Amino acid sequence: MSEGRLGGTSGGIEWTFTYLEIRFPLSEEAKSDPVTK
């Protein structure tokens, strides 16, 4: 993944979390594995 295309490191991280939340809802992840959060 090219962070430059996403507007820098912070932008890339923000986009990645948004993508992961869509693919794997964090709420569901927290329910199944509360230790992670």
Q: What is the pLDDT at residue 31?
A: 63
- Pairwise CA distance, residues 12 & 31, whole Å: 26
Q: Is the dihedral of CA 17, 23, 27, 32 positive or negative?
A: negative
Q: What is the pLDDT at residue 32?
A: 65
Each of the 37 residues of the chain gets a pLDDT tens digit; together they read 555 555 566 777 888 888 887 887 766 666 666 565 5
- Pairwise CA distance, residues 36 & 26, whole Å: 10
Q: What is the pLDDT at residue 25?
A: 72
